[in-house]
Every structure is written in structure tokens, then in C-alpha cells.
Amino acid sequence: MKRREFIQTSTAAAVTLGFGNFTFLQAQTKGANEKIVLALIGCGGRGISTIVNCCKINTNVEIKTLCDVNRTKLAKAADTVKKTFNYTPTTTEEMLTVFDDKDIDAAWIATVDHWHTLAAVRACLAGKDVYVEKNPTHFISEGRKLIAAAEKNKRVVEVGCQNRSAPYNMAARDYIQSGKLGKIVTVKVYFMLGGGKGGKAVEAPVPAWLDWDRWLGPAPLRPFSPSIVSENGRGGWQNFWSFSGGKLSDEASHTLDLARMVLGDPPHPKAVYCWGGNHALGGESETPEYQEITYDFGNFAMTCSGGPSLGYMTKTPSDIRFDVTKFPAWRTNSSRIEIYGTKGLMYLGRHGGGWQVVGKDDKIVAEHGGIFPDDDHQKNFIESLRGRKKPNGDAENGHRSATLVHLGNISYRVGCKQLLFDEKTERFTNNDAANALAEGTYRKGYEFPVI
């Protein structure tokens, strides 16, 4: 089915699903002995590795269908499933095939960022539950659409912010809520990554292994470039606003969400200011090499600092990620969080690594080890499907954390200006250009269906 045909079909479905009786879509509670059938949309390294692992660590879960417009990755993913589980999944380049299949219980969405929300909403309208990788939205306006699609169609939607399923992060939240850290004064979030400078997209013919039109989807039409899409690797699409929010949308979406979680999920900030640019390496990418953001939460401030330009900072090493007795070297940990209370300073890691609280004279007054929580999060998703319950990484908090990413990027894109944000309307009160970026645009034929 062509994309324009899908709009007509999905719009008609949305009228039915949006105003009718939803009980026929609400899946029955499934016991541990009943099979859950998944489909993967987006067969890159992260997508195939996580869905395969999910099937390994949960009972009676299998992959029926793989979907990707990159034919090379699609074939490799099918081979991985066959070698791992000794069965052959069906393959397709059209996600509507997944949504039309009544045997499929849930869509596992690991596409390029700009496709995340539209694919997830389409899945909900088709009666599928959803696991969607971060960042769950590409525009602020998409968050409420995803929440509405999930609620009206009684779908489980879990965002791939796996820190929300980590026991050590829950313990950090409990420690802060107990008052042992004191009153929170300021929070510092980091995504100080290594990386090279980005360049411009050099035009080239569309390769035979790619459906370029479908890959672009809702993004503006532009010529193909190998600087954007790679046949076998991740590609450079994070350097372009049409497809991503840069490293802030990638790495910092995790740390910002984790900070919100342990702070008790505060509402949106009142204001944001972002300074940034390609000043560190002098590249030509649209998304900046470095950003420094300040969020005003009223009774405390949060900053977010980083980008792909600091090679001496490192992510938590693998040996620490899976060892509850080890903690990172915090000063050079690229994805740490620092929470300053009146009674102590908490260092918190997002890749495992646990947390430690430092008091006077640099003395460690409390600590809790932790491991990388992918397994915990994937188990939570399957448990949520079986029990029809809200998952740890629910759509509401996924939207609120994603909004922090969008606020920072929008402030940067309108000229590094301070923006005032209304919590209730989720609009800026002092900048029309910022509101236009928050709303976003969609290419003809890939508009959002009516919810």
C-alpha cells in the first residue's frame, strides 16, 4: 500500500478508534505460557540487538516480522534471527504490512529519530502495543499525539529510556525523596562525548539497497547523500535537523530523563537558554558540536552540557557497567549526573555505575552499585504487555523528558535566546519562531493521521 493510501485508511480508522468503543482493542491479559509476537521496524544495530535480547531473556516471545527500507540491514537482521532462534522471520519494506498483521502483538520501533512518533502512532491506531527507542519525539507537539493515541486505543507504549527500570536508579530516587541529600539546589547533566566534526551532505545517486523516499518519510524531500545514510553503519543523519536533534537528542535524552526520574519527575521548566555551536572542532554539521543549556524549574536550576567534541571524556567502561562493586571515575565520566543538595552531592551514572553521595572533606556518605539496565527494561515491557499495565518508561514521562531536548535545541536554533515556556499549553510565550519549531512540519503523504 502506498503512503497516500495509508493516510486515507488510517484517517478512517482513526475516526472509528478515536470516538468509538475501545474495548475490542484492549488485549486480554496473557499468561506466561502464551506467546507474544513482536515485529521490528528499523533493523540497525540497536534495533536487532535489543529485540533479540528481549526474546532471549523472556519466555514465549518471538519475532515474526522485520521491517526496514535498507535492504542490506534487513537481510542481515533476518540472518541474525535465523541463526539465533532457528526460525526465519518474514521481511518487508512497508511498515503497514506489520500493522495489518493480526498475529503481531507489538511493534518494536528503532527507526531514525524523525520516524519514531509517526510509526508509534500508526501502530497504536492499528491496535499494536509499542516499544519505541529514544528520543520518542522529533517535535514537542508529537508528545501529546503519542499519549493520545496510546490512551484512546488502550495501548502499552514503552520508551527506550532503560534507566527507569534500573533498581539502583529507583534507590537514588528514594534516597533523594527521603531528604538525606537535603534541598536540591542545582542539577548538572552531562553528555560530553568524543567524536569528529561533521561535514555537508554531498549529493549522490540513490543506491539500490535503499528506498530513499520511505527513509525520508515525513522529513522534507532532499537528494540522497552517503553522509546521511550508511548501508551498514549508523550514518550521519544525527548532523541534520530534519532527522534528529543531534547528540542532545541521542545521548542526553538518557541523562535528562534519568535526572527527571530521580528528582521525582518534575513538570516542565519555566524557561530555557541554550548557548552552542561548532566552535570546538569547526565542523559544518547543522546540529552543534557543543551546547550549554540552563533550565529554570522554579525552585532549582538544571544545566545540560556537552556534545561530540571532548575526546578525553569517556562513557562508563563495560567492566563497570556490569559490576555492582565498581564505580566510574566521575570527573571524566561523559554521561554523569551531579545533583547538589544542601546536605551532599550525588554522582549518578546512566550506563550502570551506580551512584555515590559525597559530603564534607570528600567523604563518601552513601553509595549504591548498579548494572546496565537493558534486561530490566525489556522484561518490564513484556510484563506490561502480559498484565496490561503502565510500563516504567511510559509515554507521558517520555514526552516530558524529550521536551527538555527540544527546548534546548529550539533555544539554540532561534539564536541562542532565552525562551519562556507555558507548562499547561506547552507553548512559548515570547517567541513565535520557537513555537513553529515546536509544532514541526510533515511532508505531503506522510502527515499525522487523525487521533
CATH code, domain carrying 33: 3.40.50.720
Q: Say which range, 25-34, 45-54, 333-342, 360-369, has the weakest mean pLDDT.
A: 25-34
Name the nearest CA neighbour of 370 among 169, 181, 165.
Answer: 169
143 lies in some domain: yes
Name the nearest CA neighbour of 286 among 226, 229, 243.
Answer: 243
Pairing of strands 271-277, 290-296: antiparallel
Average pLDDT over residues 274-301: 96
Measure Cα distances from 355 to 173, 176, 210, 363, 367 in Å. Answer: 11, 12, 44, 14, 6
DSSP 109-159: E-S-GGGHHHHHHHHHHTT-EEEEPSS--SSHHHHHHHHHHHHHTT--EEE
Q: Which bin fits 445, alpha (ψ -120 to 50), beta or left (φ > 0)?
A: left
35 pLDDT more than 60: yes
178 lies in some domain: no
57 lies in some domain: yes
Average pLDDT over residues 111-123: 98
| pLDDT tens for each residue of 334-383 | 999 999 999 999 999 999 999 999 999 999 999 999 999 999 999 999 99
286 lies in some domain: no
Name the nearest CA neighbour of 73 among 107, 42, 101.
Answer: 42
All three cell numbers of 187, joined, read 542539577
Q: Give the total number of structural domains in the chain.
A: 1
60 pLDDT more than 90: yes
> How much is the pLDDT for 28?
60
* E strands present in 194-297: 271-277, 290-296
Q: pLDDT class for 51, splitting at 50, 70, 90? A: very high
Dihedral over alpha carbons 157, 162, 163, 168 (to 10 degrees): 110
344 lies in some domain: no
Domain containing residue 114: 3-161
Residue pair 240/286 in contact by the 8 Å Cβ criterion: yes
67 lies in some domain: yes
Q: Cα–Cα distance between 416 and 431 in angstroms, integer?
A: 12
4 pLDDT more than 70: no
Q: What angle do CA 358, 259, 421 make, to 5 degrees?
A: 130
Name the nearest CA neighbour of 257 among 181, 155, 159, 147.
Answer: 159
7 lies in some domain: yes
Q: Cα–Cα distance between 349 and 207 in angstroms, integer?
A: 41
pTM: 0.93
8 pLDDT more than 50: no
Residue pair 233/94 in contact by the 8 Å Cβ criterion: no
378 lies in some domain: no
Q: pLDDT class for 15, splitting at 50, 70, 90? A: very low
> How much is the pLDDT for 20?
28
The dihedral sign for the CA sequence 167, 331, 282, 195: negative
Mean pLDDT of the chain: 93
